[in-house]
Structure 1
Amino acid sequence: METEVILVRSFTANGRGGNPAGVVVNAPQLSQAQKLKIAQIVGYSETAFVTVDNEVDWQVSFFTTTGEVDFCGHATLAAFSVLYQKGLITTGKYIQRTRAGLLPVVVTSDGQVVMEQQLPQFLGSFHAREVSALIGIDAGVIESTQLPVEAISTGLPDMIIPVPFGYLDRIQPNQSLIADFCQKYELVGLHVYELYPPESELTASCRNFAPLYGIPEESATGSSSGALACYLSKYLPDESTSRERRDYVFEQGRAMQCTSKITASVTFQNSEIVKVEVGGQAHETGLRHITV
C-alpha cells in the first residue's frame, strides 16, 4: 500500500524555521503498526494521520518514531494547514477528535491555525537540585529566577524550567538522565525558557527536550507552549493587560538554527482559566510516497 505523506514545517517565522511534521490525509485503512512504520520512515518528531470523523469534523492521531502520543500541537497545526490549503476546509472553527479529547481548531483567513488545548493540570513542583544535572545548569542559577520548576499539562505533561536571560544557549542536556527522569515522573519532556526584557515583542525563548520519545530537541512544541502560557499567567500575572485574556509570543529552536514563532493566549473567567489557545503559521515543504 502506497501512502502519500505531505511534509510541513509548523510555527514558521516569516516562512522560515519551524518544526517539521508529516501529514497523511484520509487513510482510515492504515493499521496502528502501519502508521508507526510510516512515522519511522518519515523520521520527524511527529506525523499526523487525519480521517473524517462520524461525529465531529476530523479524527487525528499522532505518531512519533517510537509510538502513538495523545496530542501534538505542531502536527495539529500542520494537519489543519494542509486541509485548508487543499481546499478540504475553509476558514472557521473545527473539532478534532484526539486521544487527549475533543479539541477545537480555528483557521483564519490568512492561514493561521489556532488550536484550543486542554485546560491546564498543574502536576506538582520540583526543586532546582532535581533538574540541575538534566540541563547542565547550576541549581543556584535556576533558583535565582525566583520562579518554580513545575510539571504542567495542557494535553501532554511537560516540566517547565526557568533560567535567567542569557543562559538558555548554555544548556548542556543530558539526554539519558532526561529520559530516565521523564519515565520516572511520567512526563513527555522538559521545556526550558528564558524571559525576554519587557520591551521586547517576544515573551520568552524556549528549548524543549523529549528523548524518551526519540526527540533529543524540538524546534517548536505547541502543547508545551500552552503549558508555559498557563505557567506565566499563574506566576507572572501582568496587571497592565486585560484580566480576561493574556497573550504571549514565544521563540523556539534558536539553538538548532531553526527559529520558530509560536503565539499563545490564556482566557480567564472569575480568575479561573477557561481557555488555552496556541497558534502559528505552517508551510508545505514537499511530498513522500511510502509503501508499507
Structure 2
Amino acid sequence: MHIHRIAAFTSQGQGGNPAGVVVADQLPPPDEMQRVAADVGYSETVFSCPDGNGAWRTRYYSPEAEVAFCGHATIALGAVLGQTFGPARYPLALANAQIEVSAEKRGGEWVSVLRSPPTRSAAASPELLKEALDLFGYAADDLDPTLAPCMANAELDHLIVPLRSRATLARLDYDLDQGRRFMQAHRIGTVAFVFCQSETLFHARNAFAIGGVLEDPATGAAAAAFAGMLRDLGRVKHGEIVIMQGVDMGQPCRIEVEFTAEPGSPVNVRGTSSVIG
C-alpha cells in the first residue's frame, strides 16, 4: 500500500493541511484503514478505489474514527488522481453522498476543486452556544453582533461561531478531552470560529477534537458549510469568498469557495496542493 502525503490548501506554496491519500484497486478492510490513519497521524487519511461504474469509492478516516466527509483530504485526493491519471473530473461515491473533485495543473501546482454535498444551516440554540463559549473561554461580548452563530451542514454538522475581532480569534484555546465529549454529545464535526475581515475575506480556526485533533489547519467541509450559511443569512448571496485558516498554527492555508444564489445548492471549494517531503 502506497501512502501519498499531501499538503492541501497551501497558500503561495507554503503551509497547507497534511492528508494521507491511498489510491488502490480496492479499499482495505475498515480496521486496516483505521490502523493506517492512526499510523499516518494526520487529521484525515482518504482511501479511494474505482467502483466499477465510473466513480471512485471513497472513505475518510481520522486517527480515531471514520469521518463521513473531509474537504482537505478530497482536495489532496484530487491532486493525486490528477497526477496519476491526468487532469479530469472524478466522481466520488462517499458513504452517504455523491460528490466530485476535479484537478488541473496551473503554474506547476495541482489545483483541485471539490463539488460539495448540498448545504443547509439553522441558528444555533442558546444552550448549545453557551456551552461552546464556556468550553472555549469566550463570552457573549466576544461574538460578532452582525452575524449569528449557526449549525451549518455540508454532509457534516459544524458549529460556526463568528467573533468580533481577529485578536479574539487568535486566543482560541480549550481542553481536548472536554472538546471531544462536547462534540460527541452534540454530533458536531468541528467547531469553527470565524472573523470577517471584509465581505469576502474571512479568517477561521477549527477545533476537531472529535477526531483527536486539537485544531485543523484547513477544513474544506466546514468552509463549504460556512458558505452555505452565509448564503442562507443573505450575507453573501453568491460569488466567491476566501477563508484563511491555520495562520495562528504557523501553517497558513487558503480556501476559496464559489457558490450560486440557489439556497441549499452544492458549492465549489478550491485549493492548491503540494507533496510533503
Which TM-score applies when normalising by structure 1? 0.87
Instruction: Pick from 231, 236, 251 the counterpart of residue 258 of structure 1.
Output: 251
Which runs of 5 or more structure 1 residues have no equivalent in the other structure?
A: 287-292
1:88-237 matched pairs, under 5 angstroms: 88=85, 90-110=86-106, 111-127=110-126, 128-142=129-143, 144-166=144-166, 167-198=168-199, 203-237=201-235
When structure 1 is superposed on structure 2, of 101-110 and 12-21 the one drifting more is: 101-110
SS at match of 2:2: strand
Q: Report the Cα distance in structure 2 between the residues aligned to 1:146 and 1:6, rounded to whole angstroms.
A: 42
Deviations 1:8-58 (A, max 9, x none): 000001111000001111152621111111111111111111111112321
Q: Report the Cα distance in structure 2 between the residues aligned to 1:258 and 1:217, rounded to whole angstroms.
A: 11
Report the CA distance between 1:130 and its aligned residue.
3.0
Report the CA distance between 1:197 and its aligned residue.
3.5
Indicate conservation of the 8 Å contact 1:219/1:252, yes or no: yes
Number of residue pairs matched? Answer: 271
1:290 is aligned to: none
Which TM-score applies when normalising by structure 2? 0.92
Ranges of 4+ aligned residues in structure 1 off by more than 6 Å:
none
Q: Report the Cα distance in structure 2 between the residues aligned to 1:173 and 1:251, rounded to whole angstroms.
A: 21
Q: CA-atom RMSD, angstroms?
A: 1.7
1:280 lines up with 2:271 in the alignment: yes
Letter in 2 for 1:141: D
Report the CA distance between 1:61 and its aligned residue.
0.9
Report the CA distance between 1:92 and its aligned residue.
2.9
> Relative to structure 1, is the Cα distance of residues 7 and 74 closer, same or farther in structure 2, using a 3 angstrom cutoff?
same
> Relative to structure 1, is the Cα distance of residues 100 and 264 closer, same or farther in structure 2, using a 3 angstrom cutoff?
farther
Letter in 1 for 2:59: S
Indicate conservation of the 8 Å contact 1:219/1:260, yes or no: yes
1:289 is aligned to: none
Indicate conservation of the 8 Å contact 1:133/1:174, yes or no: no
Report the CA distance between 1:177 and its aligned residue.
3.0
> Relative to structure 1, is the Cα distance of residues 29 and 159 closer, same or farther in structure 2, using a 3 angstrom cutoff?
closer
Instruction: Pick from 50, 53, 56 the counterpart of residue 51 of structure 2.
Output: 53
> Relative to structure 1, is the Cα distance of residues 168 and 49 closer, same or farther in structure 2, using a 3 angstrom cutoff?
same
Structure possessing the higher radius of gyration over alpha carbons? 1
Indicate conservation of the 8 Å contact 2:192/2:204, yes or no: yes
Which runs of 5 or more structure 2 residues have no equivalent in the other structure?
A: none
Instruction: Pick from 241, 245, 249 the counterpart of residue 242 of structure 2.
Output: 249
Q: Report the Cα distance in structure 2 between the residues aligned to 1:265 and 1:252, rounded to whole angstroms.
A: 17
Report the CA distance between 1:262 and its aligned residue.
0.3
Q: Report the Cα distance in structure 2 between the residues aligned to 1:6 and 1:149, rounded to whole angstroms.
A: 37
Indicate conservation of the 8 Å contact 2:98/2:117, yes or no: no
> Relative to structure 1, is the Cα distance of residues 27 and 37 closer, same or farther in structure 2, using a 3 angstrom cutoff?
farther
